[in-house]
Structure 1
Amino acid sequence: MLDIVKKLTSLNGPCGYEHNVSYYIRDYVKDLVDEVRIDGIGNVIATKKGRLPGPKILLTAHMDEVGFIVKKIEENGLIRFEKLGGHDDRILLAQEVKVLGNSGEISGVIGTMSAHFVKFDDPSKVRKHTHLYIDIGASSKAEVEEMGIEVGAPVTWATEMKVLGPKGKEMIMAKSLDDRAGCAVLLQLVNELQDETFAGVVTFLFSVQEEVGLRGAETAIKTLDVDAAIALDTTAVSDTPEETMDKTLFLGKGTGIKVMDFSLIVHKTMKNHLVNLAKEKGIPYQLEIFPGIGTDGGAVALANNGVPTGVLSIPSRYAHSPIELVSVADLEATKDLVKAFVLNLAEDTSFEW
Structure 2
Amino acid sequence: MTATLSLSELTETCGVSGDESRVRRLISRAIAPLCDELFTDSMGNLIAVKGKDKPGPRLLLAAHMDEVGFIISGYHSSGLLYFKKVGSIDDSVLLGKHVWVGPRRLPGVIGGKPIHLLKKESERQRQPEADELYIDIGAKDKAAASQAVELGEYATFATRFSEFGPGLIKGKALDDRVGCRLLVDLLECDFPFPLYAAFTVQEEVGLRGAQIVAHRVQPDVALVLEGTTSAEKPDGKEHVVSTRLGRGPAISFMDRSTIGSRPLIRHLIATAEKYHIPYQIKEVVAGGTDAGSIHLSRAGVHTAVVSIPCRYIHAPAAVASRADIAHGRELLAKALGELPLVVSEGGDPIWSN
Same fold (TM over 0.5): yes
The one-letter code sitting in structure 1 at the alignment partner of 2:265 is: K
1:134 is aligned to 2:128: no
Alignment map for 1:256-267 (pairs within 5 Å): 256-267=250-261
Aligned counterpart in structure 2 of residue 180 of structure 1, from 169, 177, 180: 177
RMSD of equivalent CA atoms = 2.2
Match of 2:7?
Answer: 5
| C-alpha deviation, 1:236, in angstroms | 0.8
**Stretches of structure 1 lacking an aligned partner (at least 5 in a row):** none
Match runs of 1:1-353 below 5 Å: 4-49=6-51, 53-101=55-103, 104-114=104-114, 122-147=123-148, 149-166=149-166, 170-191=167-188, 193=189, 196=190, 198-242=191-235, 246-345=240-339, 348=342, 351-352=350-351
Tell me, yes or no, if the aligned pair for 1:217 and 1:296 is still in contact at 8 Å: yes
Are 1:254 and 1:329, in contact at CA under 8 Å, matched by a contact in 2? yes
Give distance in 2, aligned partners of 1:242 and 1:211.
Answer: 29
Q: Which amino acid aligns with 1:155?
A: A
Matched AA of 1:215: R
CA contact (8 A) 1:249 1:315 kept: yes
Residue by residue over 1:210-248, the C-alpha shift from the partner in whole angstroms, topping out at 9 and shown as x without a partner, is: 000000001111111211000011111232225766235
Alignment partner of 2:310: what SS?
strand
SS at match of 1:330: helix
Task: Tell which deviates more after alignment, 155-164 or 288-297.
Answer: 288-297
Q: Distance in 2 between matches of 1:119 and 1:75?
A: 24
After TM superposition, give the deviation of residue 79 of structure 1 in Å: 0.5
Q: Deviations over 1:6-54 (max 9, x none)?
A: 0111110000000101122122111110001010111000011189632
State the Cα deviation string for residues 266-313 of structure 1 (Å, max 9, x = none). Answer: 111011010001111111100124322110011100111100001101
Q: Which moved more, 1:117-126 or 1:244-253?
A: 117-126
The whole-number CA distance in structure 2 between the counterparts of 1:140 and 1:43 is 38
Are 1:55 and 1:346, in contact at CA under 8 Å, matched by a contact in 2? no
Instruction: Give the secondary structure class of the aligned counterpart of 1:183.
Output: helix
Superposition TM-score, scaled by structure 1 size: 0.91
- Letter paired with 1:173: K
Alignment-mate amino acid for residue 272 of structure 2: A
- Taking the aligned partners of 1:208 and 1:110, their CA distance within structure 2 comes to 26
How far off its partner does 1:343 sit? Answer: 1.4
Residue type at the aligned position of 2:62: T
Given that residues 229 and 242 in structure 2 are in contact (C-alpha distance below 8 angstroms), is that contact kept between their aligned partners in structure 1? no
Native 8 Å contact 1:14 1:154 kept in 2: yes
Contact 1:75/1:140 (CA < 8 Å) preserved in 2? yes
Give the 3 Å change call, closer, same or farther, for CA 289–248 of structure 1 in structure 2: closer
Amino acid at match of 1:143: A
Mean CA deviation greater in 244-253 or 20-29 = 244-253
Q: If each structure's strand is expressed as a fraction of its own residues, which one has the higher value? A: 1
1:26 touches 1:38 (CA, 8 Å); kept in 2?
A: no
- Aligned to 2:101, the other structure's residue is in SS state strand
Flag as ranges the 4+ runs of structure 1 deviating above 4 A. Answer: 113-121, 242-245, 349-353
2:124 aligned counterpart, secondary structure: coil
Q: 1:215 to 1:243 in 2, by over 3 A?
A: farther
Identify unmatched segments of 5+ residues in structure 2.
344-348
Closer, same or farther: CA 274–139 of 1 in aligned 2, 3 Å: same
TM-score for the superposition, normalised by structure 2? 0.91
- Residue-pair matches, total: 343
CA distance in 1: counterparts of 2:178 and 2:8, whole angstroms: 10
When structure 1 is superposed on structure 2, of 19-28 and 62-71 the one drifting more is 19-28
Per-residue CA distance 1:173-196 (angstroms, 9 max, x = gap): 1111100010011112223x1xx4
The C-alpha deviation readout for 1:293-336, integer Å capped at 9, x for no partner, is 11001110011110000110111110100111111111111111
Distance 1:72 1:39, change over 3 A: same
Contact 2:101–2:154 (8 Å) recurs in 1: yes
2:346 corresponds to: none
Corresponding residue SS for 1:134? strand
Measured in 1, the distance between the counterparts of 2:36 and 2:4 equals 25
- 1:50 touches 1:199 (CA, 8 Å); kept in 2? no
Secondary structure of 1:260's counterpart equals coil
